A and B are shown apart, each in its own frame.
Chain A
């Protein structure tokens, strides 16, 4: 398969792109009235976590990555919103490839757990899954770094 030899691009943006998206989303969160009430701690934690993943998806993948599309779609569904993505250019090639790639049960067994961990993994063909995983891992580490810096910056001396 020719696509196996194509260089895979797993570049991610710089850390400050992630930081900016995250901080903007956080400040939007704080403007909500219910955000600062002390009783709703669990809600707040959940919201922060969701904001972290969504801002990461926006910063890093946007609509160009399968995992970020899946993540944003899932988040929008939770808010009962409908998300529309622009059509990807390579749509036809993808369909053709899928028909000729029957899934092998042995490699599926091993990839199953990975599919469950990467957003949108269930629909991907294995080599695409690897590529998306690599990008996802890089973005997730970057996002975690940003959050750690924020925590360090906010912690009382």
Chain B
């Protein structure tokens, strides 16, 4: 997993793309028998996958937090006559 591709900026829109997610999923599936068979030894890769998964979920939760915060600010100050509000309104009414 190339975690270096994950952007550090809070407002960046680059996320893990579909290929990486597919990769992660297949690794998750592969790690199941590995966890089962290799009791003590060689669970490094499986636990690494689990760890990356946990970190990724935590990051997503954090991003959701930050974005909720920003949305709260933006929604508070939104001018009902602005073009942005019109866009939102039209999207919702569709």
Task: Given the known inter-chain contacts A106-B40, A107-B36, please indicate yes or no for A48 contacting B28, CB distance below 8 A.
Answer: no
Instruction: Categorize the interface residue count of chain A.
Output: 35 or more
Contact B15 A141 (CB under 8 A): yes
The verdict on A45 contacting chain B, using a C-beta distance below 8 Å, is: yes
Number of interface residues of B (CB under 8 A): 47
Contact A49 B65 (CB under 8 A): yes
Which residues of chain A are near B78, meaning CB under 8 Å?
Answer: 154
Contact A144 B64 (CB under 8 A): yes
Which residues of chain B are near A8, meaning CB under 8 Å?
Answer: 25, 29
Partner of B46, one of A10, A19, A110, A113: A110
Partner of B74, one of A19, A114, A154: A154
Complex formed: what's the CA distance from A142 to B71 in Å? Answer: 17
Contact A23 B28 (CB under 8 A): no
Contact B36 A104 (CB under 8 A): yes
Complex formed: what's the CA distance from A136 to B46 in Å? Answer: 19
Contact A154 B68 (CB under 8 A): no
Contact B68 A52 (CB under 8 A): yes
Which residues of chain B are near A41, meaning CB under 8 Å?
Answer: 72, 76
Please list 16 pairs of residues, one from A and one from B, whose beta carbons are closer than 8 Å in the complex, sorted by A's number. Answer: A4-B33, A38-B76, A41-B76, A46-B68, A110-B43, A110-B50, A113-B51, A114-B53, A134-B25, A144-B60, A147-B67, A148-B11, A148-B63, A151-B74, A153-B87, A154-B71
Task: Identify the A interface with B (CB < 8 A).
Answer: 4, 8, 10, 19-20, 23-24, 26-27, 30, 36, 38, 41, 44-46, 48-49, 52-53, 104, 106-107, 110-111, 113-114, 117-118, 126-127, 130, 133-134, 136-138, 140-141, 143-145, 147-155
